[in-house]
Structure 1
Amino acid sequence: MKAWTWRPISDVSVAALNRAARRLPTWVVYLLGALPGPVVFYQGLTGGLGPEPIKALEHALGLYALQFLLAGLAISPLRRLAGLNLIRFRRALGLLAFYYVSLHLLVWLLLDVQVPAAIWADLVKRPYITVGMAGFLLLLPLALTSNSFSIRRLGRRWRQLHRAVYAAVLLGALHFVMLRKGLQIEPLIYFSLAVGLLALRLPLPRVCRKAE
């Protein structure tokens, strides 16, 4: 009896994609992933983000961060369920997510709030900011230990530490939902994706099929 594995695309296509992924240098992922940051800043400086450029800039950077977090979270389910192996890019996706979270936070601190005394007031009075800050604080040690030295130094504890990314993704998606007034479709889609990707990481029952 064989364990059933879902294959949304043919094995030939998966093999071709895996070969292409092995040939793609990781620095290309870093470069292409980081480019939208300067682009959206340029749009803000040149009036391309509408009448409220700071809010639009915050939103764009936060959305990029959430998208990279979800992309990183999708890697293990894709390998397990579809056979697509993108594991070598997971560190890059995680660091790119932290890059955008940091830019998102800096824009809020330096361009939006500006007054240091107001920062604590916002953290206390606005739950969505508290949730977002909690997500950032969870990601901080993960970014600092996303290197070969830390992996060797921490051993098994490294994996345990980096499981905090699951909570960080949920907090990021929840931050997005709470940020928008009322129940809007876009934030709910992202939150559902976060929950769904986490659910896919749960152990699946072994569904057997008849041996051919």
Structure 2
Amino acid sequence: MIDQLNQVLRRCPVWVLYLVGAVYPAWLLYLGLTGGLGVDPVKALEHEMGERALQLLVLGLAVTPLRQRVGVNLMKFRRAIGVITFFYVVLHLLVWLVLDVQILGQIWADILKRPYITIGMAGFLVLLPLAITSNNWSVRKLGRRWRILHKAVYGAALLGGVHFVMLVKGFQIEPLIYLGVIVLLLILRLPVRRSSPQRA
């Protein structure tokens, strides 16, 4: 079963993922313009982009554990997942900036006074250099430093999870599940210490 799935994944071109990633926000925008996102389409669009970005962050973190522990190989899609994740984060931010708040002074006030927005902006800033260096030229130029830099995605994922938990009002289980999955995936990446055999 796993081998058959990997064969299908190997045949699937990466551009399909980029295409789906581009079509989905356009579809949401269409729904918003035609009344398909409810009475508050701006908030709905903002939420959808943010949650999809968080889901893609989780998927990106899961690529290595899935290959190592389950045998499902998504490595060829990892860069595309990262690029689309940042694209969705930018859209989430733009909806909030342009369609929701709109007033520049209020934007800075919200960033400084509302902790969940502060944390969300911190996550965006962590992802920014990763998005800029998500190209072959940067991989060659940075060498081993590229891998070190891109480990910052772990921090960005944690910030995204905490942002979602703090964003919702009251106790809700869904954001806690996201945060728990992120923490679990990070734990799975910790190096396993192998105990040396005891001498007789």
- How would you bin the TM-score normalised by the shorter chain? over 0.9
In the alignment of these two chains, the number of paired residues is 195
Segments of structure 1 that go 5 or more residues without pairing to the other structure are 1-12, 208-212
Aligned to 1:43: 31
CA distance in 2, matches of 1:166, 1:155: 20
Aligned to 1:10: none
Structure 1 residue 34, shift from structure 2 partner: 2.5
Structure 1 residue 120, shift from structure 2 partner: 0.7
Deviations 1:69-119 (A, max 9, x none): 111110000011012111010000000100100000000000011011111
Amino acid of the structure 2 residue aligned with 1:24? C
Deviations 1:5-58 (A, max 9, x none): xxxxxxxx1211111111110001111223211111111111111111111110
CA distance in 2, matches of 1:178, 1:155: 37
Aligned to 1:147: 135
Q: Structure 1 length normalisation: TM-score?
A: 0.89
CA distance in 2, matches of 1:184, 1:124: 25
Say which SS state the counterpart of residue 50 (structure 1) adopts.
coil
Say which SS state the counterpart of residue 38 (structure 2) adopts.
coil
**Residue among 108, 112, 130 paired with 2:118:** 130
Say which SS state the counterpart of residue 35 (structure 1) adopts.
helix
Segments of structure 2 that go 5 or more residues without pairing to the other structure are 196-200
**Residue among 72, 77, 80 paired with 1:89:** 77
Amino acid of the structure 2 residue aligned with 1:31? L
CA distance in 2, matches of 1:156, 1:191: 29
**Residue among 80, 87, 100 paired with 1:112:** 100
**Residue among 7, 10, 22 paired with 2:10:** 22
The answer to whether structure 1 residue 158 and structure 2 residue 123 are counterparts is no
Q: Structure 2 length normalisation: TM-score?
A: 0.94
Structure 1 residue 206, shift from structure 2 partner: 5.3
CA distance in 1, matches of 2:56, 2:49: 11
CA distance in 2, matches of 1:132, 1:35: 25
Structure 1 residue 205, shift from structure 2 partner: 5.2
Task: Report the RMSD for the aligned CA atoms in angstroms.
Answer: 1.2
Say which SS state the counterpart of residue 17 (structure 2) adopts.
helix
Decide which moves more: 129-138 or 189-198.
189-198
**Residue among 169, 183, 193 paired with 1:181:** 169
Identity %: 62
